[in-house]
Structure formats: structure tokens, C-alpha cells
Structure 1
Amino acid sequence: MQKTTNRITRRIVLVFLIFGVVLTLMLGLSFVAAFKSVEQCMIDELLDAELQHYRSEIENTLAQQSYHSRTTSIYFAPLAAPSLLPEHVRHLSQGTHDLEYKNHNFRVLVKDIGEKRYVVKFDGTSIHERESEFIHLVWIYSITILIIALLIGWKASHQIISPIKQLANQIITFKNKPGALLDLSQFNDDEIGFLAKEIQHYHEQLQQMLIREKEFARNVSHELRTPVTSISLATQILAMKKNLSSEEYNRIQRIQRAVDEMSELIETFLMLARGSDKSSRDNYVVSEVGPIVRKVIEQQRVWLGNKPVEVIVKEKGHLNVSAPSGVISVLIANLVRNAFLYTERGIAEVVITPNKVTITDTGIGFDSSTQTQIFNHHAKAGLRDANINKVRGFGLPIVQRICEYYNWKVSFESKVGQGTRFTVRFDSELA
């Protein structure tokens, strides 16, 4: 979250920086252009006024063909004899010109009146020096405005981001304190405050929904215990009867295995309904996975029927897991059941190592589009056979929930027509 808010802060500062640069450039160039325009207009008017004054009052009293004051020089000559004019202004046409001569900057007016050409030359060197000073001053003020814009942007960004950071930090506490509430007093009655209220409202609704779901799961699981217990007692009584045929005894044992599996599933649902509780997880006894796997395989063989599938169990090391044996049984049973259900021929192999269990089959597999939804309830096999419409992924959402609860990792690889491999990695501290 810190990186995100820093990026937002940089964006706000960058916007103010760009705005400041554009503003200072526009103002600076506008001031300089306006100054130059006004300067030229004033000098041109001065040149014309000097020429008019010279012709009306001075020209007839002077015998020379030139006139000089501190800043202005006036020359005239017949149109037929332009060579009488100074060489540096002789080539100029009618109009106003900028002329640099002997390290001085001049503004020159050339005008033909009657049979004479008049040249009025104004020395604007001092004005150009003042112009340079003015331009430097404009850029100094522009840089100052730019610095002020940066400071305002930095201050504004922190004022804008501060309530967002507070809101984000409070939301982060929800991870460790599910019942926590936002401290709305820290937020003003603005957009951030409105967002905080909406998040608080949504969080409360979510908490109520989770509570209702947990209560429902507990109630359903408790209600299921009574009939399951009754069935278990009935099967035990039936198994104690004398003169049972082997077929009858096998059926009773199958019912008992199903009851045991249902009991384990109910206990798992109750555990998941209670939510994550690290202390309760740490207090579980250590269960050995190998015997559980062998028991589960015998329970799930019913799904193989008479299919030519070879079941292989390889134990390459002892795997001990801190979790109830019933939870491990439900986890393995769902994966083994999948392998048995969707393998028509070939092998179904379970490999146990000191930190993981791998279940591999040579079944139908599933395509890449189905793989993205494999842990959803409605994922289906990517098959073209219209006669096979079974739901693929039976029990996989339960597998994922159990792994999330215990911080285990479940992964898979699958190819259509070649089979599937599921791998569950357990905590290695007890392996």
C-alpha cells in the first residue's frame, strides 16, 4: 500500500510540476513578447516624431545633410544621390530596420519624402541592456513560481493521500481482527469519508453473512451427526449377528465405511466452519499419512468397479502431519476418488514422500480452459464424448479449502487423454 500511495503522490506532484512549467513558460514568453512589441512601437513612434520635428524646425536652419543628438542621428540626401548617405545605412530600403553597427544596436527609419530620402537612426543599446535585465528578471520570477508550484503540489498530495493511507491501514487490520470496525472519526465528511462509511457498511454485511454461514454449517453438521450415529450403531449391531453370509457382511462393512467417511466429512465441515484458528491447529495431534492413505484406498475401491485399473501405493518416506486424521482422510479421499472415477484403464498411483503426497492417474484429464476452473464447483471435463457428462472436480473445492486452512499447497498437472497428477505439499516441520 505504501508503494501505491507513493505513486499517487508522485502523480499529483508531477501534475503540479507540469502545470507550473507550462504556466511559467506562457507567462515568461508573454511578458517578453509584450515588452518587445511595446518597445518597438514606442521607438518607431519616436523615430517618426523626430523626423517630423527635424523637417519642421531644424532642416532649414542647417547647412549639413545630417543631424546628431545624444541618441538620434538624422541623414538625408537626394533620391538621385544615395551615395551621400553614410555607407552603413545606404543599402536600407524604406521602413524600419534593426541595425547593429560598431557594437551598438540601432533602430533605423528610412523614409522618402518628395525628392529626398531621410534616415533616422536611434541608438537603443541602453534599452537592449535593460531588456536583457528584464528577461532575466522574468525567468527568475518564473523559476520562483515553479518552485512554489512544486511545494504546493507536494503539500496538497500529502493532504490528499493522508486520509487514504489512514483508511488503507485500518482496512489492513481487518485481516488480523475480523470483528474490527473503522474509526470513522478520523475522516471528514467528504468523498474519503463516504468511501470509509461504505466500506464499513460492506464489512459489517460481510461479517454478518459469514456468521450466518458458519452457524448454518455448524447446525447442519450437528443435525447430521444424529442419523449418522444411528446408522453406525445399526451397522455394528448387524455385524454382530451370527450366521451372516460373506456377501451380507461385506455390504455391512461397506455401509460402515461410508458412515465413517461421512463422520469424517462432518468433522471437517465443522472445523472449516469455525474458521482459521492457529492455536487450535497447533494443538492437533500428529497423524501418520501412510496408514490413512491405505485405509482411504480400500474405502474408495468401490468407485473402480470392474475397471482394469492397477492401484499402486509407494511410500518413499514417513510423512507426519499436524492435523486430525479425519481431515487428512477427507483430503486424500477426494483426490483418490477423482482418480478412480475418471480412470477407465491403466494405473492410479499414490506416492508418499517426507513432505508431500502425489496422486497420479491415466484417466481422461482435462483441457486448459477447464484447468482454470478446476477448483470451482461447476468445473467439467473437457471431453467431446456426449455420453460422458459427469462433473469433473468432485470434492476439489473441499480439498482447496482444507489446504488453505492449514497453509498447505495443492497443485496439479493434466493433459486430455493422458491423465492427471495432483500434489499436496504439507508443512515440512514435522516430516
Structure 2
Amino acid sequence: MEGSTSQGTRRGGRGTFGARIAVIFGLQMLVVVIASLMTAYNVAPLGATLAIMLCSGALAWLAVSRAWAPIAALAKLLNGWDPDHPDMQGLEAEGGKRSNADVSSLIRGLHGLASRIEGFGDRERNFTRDASHELRSPLTVIKMSSDMLADETDLSEFGHRSLERIRRSTRELESLVEAFLILSRESDQGLAEEDFIVNKVLRQEVDYARELIAGRPVELILDEPAAFALHASPRVFAVLCGQLIRHALQQTDQGTIVVTVMPGSVSVINPAVDSPEPGSRRHAAVDRHGFDLAIARRLSDRFQWPLELRALPGASRVASVRFPNPQPVEA
């Protein structure tokens, strides 16, 4: 108790920046008033009064500059601050040699904030590294095991149906893990960018999505009236378009879903459907896979690829993504 009291007294004795400035300018005003009265009552000549005022102003400026020096030093330190490599030792050293209570409070707050941000960065890197390995490894095992089961000749019809459900769920989980790993990164580091043709990536995503509608009265068509290339991460593009396609599949009981490639944009059109009754299996599927659309929105916002949702006549719905700076496809 005694130690904390003495510490609080010591901090309180330092004074705040505002209090110091008030004392400095209060003393200067007092000097000006006294000098003016001395001139008014012919106690001192006008030249001496002006000299006193100028000297008091210079002394006040020096005192304010000295009081402002810790703020300027802290601003200089923060101006060269690198969030990826925070200079915690420099911040601690800056706080150790300052006696201003306001600056000490700022440095303590910044030190705590920088420590938390550094901890968040470490947890982000650990999560993306561990999740990338620990989640993908079992998925790989499941895919290899399902492929081995598919080669079994004496597998029953029920077993084949169960195997297809396992494959579809594995594919969905794989896409979801990929989306989460992309969104969990604070920056785009680790995502290799390259020039790629969007049509080729879309064909692969459409083929993957067709596995999810096996046995359902739903048709998935890729319409390619145009072709263009992008300089970006093909993984991010594939995950974004895959989420939009899966969202359309979950919203469609029957009919034709059309994925269209236009100059600089990709759209997914699913046919009109009746609104599902609350509590039904269809309603649950619609609610759950609004989640795919939420992920697609976050990806489009993150990489600045505008996503637009609209309804066509007949209540058909269109989700389109526009890609700035599309590149022509060279022959």
C-alpha cells in the first residue's frame, strides 16, 4: 500500500502537460502586467519594459519547447513504426527517460496496444499454419479412403449413395476451410498472384460443383460468351466463385443454373423458386447456405471485387462479380 501511494504521489508530482503550459503562460502574463504597471507609474522606462516582455516571451517559448520535446520524440518514434516488426524496446526506452505524466500514460497505453497487436499477429500466423496442416491432412485421408472404397466391386447401392454423400461433404468442407484460411489472414501475404485465365478456373469449379448435384433434378451450365484473364490469386478467385455456385445450388430444387463469363465479370443465375415454409428441410438448407453468400461478400470486400445481387423478371436471382482491370486472353 505504501509503495503504491508513493508511486502515485511521484506520478502526481510530475504534473501534466496542460498544467505546465498553464503555469508558464500564467507567469508570463504576470510579468507583462507588472512591467506594464511599472511603465505606467514611471518606475521603469519603456525600453526596459519592452526588454522584460521580450525576455519573458523567449523564456516561455523555451519552457514550452522543453515541455513539448517528449511529445515530439514520441511522434518521431511512431512515425517510423512498423506494425509487422514493432520496436517494443524503443518504446520502453522512450518511456523510461520521460518524466511527463501525460507522455508516460501515452507510452504505457501504446505499449499495451502494441503488445496485444503483436499477440494477435502471432495467433493469426499460428492458426493459419496449424489449421492449414491439421485440417487439410484429415481431409486428404478422407478423400483417399473414399477413392479406395469406390473401387470396391461388392459395395451395395446404399454404400455407393453414402460414399457420394461423403465425397460431396468433403468437397464442401475443403472449400470452406480454404475460404476460412484466406479470410483469417490479416494481409494478402502468402497468396501467390499470377496471370490466369478465369475460364479455366471456372471450368474446374463447375466440375467440382456438378459432383454436389448428382442425382438431383438440377443442371449446371457454364456459358462462355467472353474470356478474360486476371492478375490475382487464382485460389481466391476459385473460392469466391465456388461459394457463389454452391449458394445457387442450395437455393435451387430443380431447374438450370447458369454460370456466365462476360467481359470483366462472372455471374451466377439460378431459377425462380418458391419460398420454403418455415421449419421445413428446404428452409433449413436456405438458412444454412446464406453462409456461403456471406463468405463470398467478405472475399469480394477484402479483394475489392464488387459483388452485386439482383432479381430478374420471374424472380430469378443473379449474383455477379465485377473484376477491375481485366486482361485480354492472348492466343
TM-score under structure 1 normalisation? 0.48
Given that 2:217 and 2:255 are in contact with CA atoms closer than 8 Å, whether structure 1 keeps it comes out as no
Q: Distance in 2 between matches of 1:185 and 1:396?
A: 49
Q: 2:303 aligns with which of 398, 405, 408?
A: 408
Q: 1:23 aligns with which of 26, 29, 36?
A: 29
The Cα of 1:23 is off from its aligned counterpart by: 3.5
Q: Distance in 1 between matches of 2:58 and 2:234?
A: 66
Q: Say whether 1:207 aligns with 2:118.
A: yes
Report the CA distance shift for 1:297/1:259 in structure 2 as closer, same or farther (over 3 A): same
Aligned residues with identical type, % of pairs: 20
Report the CA distance shift for 1:425/1:253 in structure 2 as closer, same or farther (over 3 A): same
Partner of 1:186: 94
Report the CA distance shift for 1:194/1:338 in structure 2 as closer, same or farther (over 3 A): same
Report the CA distance shift for 1:415/1:314 in structure 2 as closer, same or farther (over 3 A): same
Aligned pairs for 1:29-108 within 5 A:
31=37, 35=41
Q: Deviations for 1:344-365, whole angstroms, at most 9, x for unmatched residues?
A: 899866444565545567889x
Q: Distance in 2 between matches of 1:358 and 1:297?
A: 13
SS in 2 for 1:174: coil
Q: Distance in 2 between matches of 1:355 and 1:315?
A: 12
Given that 2:260 and 2:268 are in contact with CA atoms closer than 8 Å, whether structure 1 keeps it comes out as yes
Partner of 1:164: 74
SS in 2 for 1:317: coil
Q: Distance in 1 between matches of 2:48 and 2:309?
A: 71
The gaps in structure 1 that reach 5 residues or longer are 1-11, 36-129, 365-382
Q: What is the RMSD computed on CA atoms of the aligned residues?
A: 5.5
Task: Compare 409-418 and 312-321 and name the one that shifted more.
Answer: 409-418
Q: Say whether 1:144 aligns with 2:150.
A: no
The gaps in structure 2 that reach 5 residues or longer are 1-17
Given that 2:201 and 2:234 are in contact with CA atoms closer than 8 Å, whether structure 1 keeps it comes out as no
Partner of 1:79: none
Report the CA distance shift for 1:271/1:359 in structure 2 as closer, same or farther (over 3 A): same
Q: Distance in 2 between matches of 1:399 and 1:197?
A: 40
Partner of 1:174: 83
Q: Distance in 1 between matches of 2:31 and 2:109?
A: 44
The Cα of 1:165 is off from its aligned counterpart by: 0.8
The Cα of 1:142 is off from its aligned counterpart by: 8.5
The Cα of 1:197 is off from its aligned counterpart by: 4.0
Q: 2:244 aligns with which of 331, 335, 344?
A: 335
SS in 2 for 1:423: strand
Partner of 2:12: none
**What residue identity is the alignment partner of 1:186?**
E
Given that 2:217 and 2:254 are in contact with CA atoms closer than 8 Å, whether structure 1 keeps it comes out as no
Partner of 1:394: 291
The Cα of 1:427 is off from its aligned counterpart by: 6.7
SS in 1 for 2:228: coil
**What residue identity is the alignment partner of 1:219?**
D
Which is richer in strand?
A: 1
Q: Say whether 1:233 aligns with 2:144.
A: yes
Given that 2:199 and 2:227 are in contact with CA atoms closer than 8 Å, whether structure 1 keeps it comes out as no
Q: Distance in 2 between matches of 1:288 and 1:319?
A: 4
Q: Distance in 2 between matches of 1:206 and 1:414?
A: 36
Q: 1:423 aligns with which of 301, 308, 321?
A: 321
Report the CA distance shift for 1:26/1:422 in structure 2 as closer, same or farther (over 3 A): farther
Partner of 1:80: none
The Cα of 1:167 is off from its aligned counterpart by: 3.7
Given that 1:221 and 1:269 are in contact with CA atoms closer than 8 Å, whether structure 2 keeps it comes out as no
Partner of 1:323: 233
TM-score under structure 2 normalisation? 0.58
Q: Distance in 1 between matches of 2:62 and 2:71?
A: 14
Higher relative CO (CA 8 A, sep ≥ 6), structure 1 or 2?
A: 2
SS in 2 for 1:173: coil
Given that 1:359 and 1:421 are in contact with CA atoms closer than 8 Å, whether structure 2 keeps it comes out as yes
SS in 2 for 1:409: coil
Given that 1:24 and 1:145 are in contact with CA atoms closer than 8 Å, whether structure 2 keeps it comes out as no
Q: Distance in 1 between matches of 2:113 and 2:125?
A: 18
SS in 1 for 2:307: strand
Q: Distance in 2 between matches of 1:214 and 1:139?
A: 67
Q: Distance in 2 between matches of 1:274 and 1:34?
A: 73
Given that 1:314 and 1:351 are in contact with CA atoms closer than 8 Å, whether structure 2 keeps it comes out as yes
Report the CA distance shift for 1:424/1:275 in structure 2 as closer, same or farther (over 3 A): same
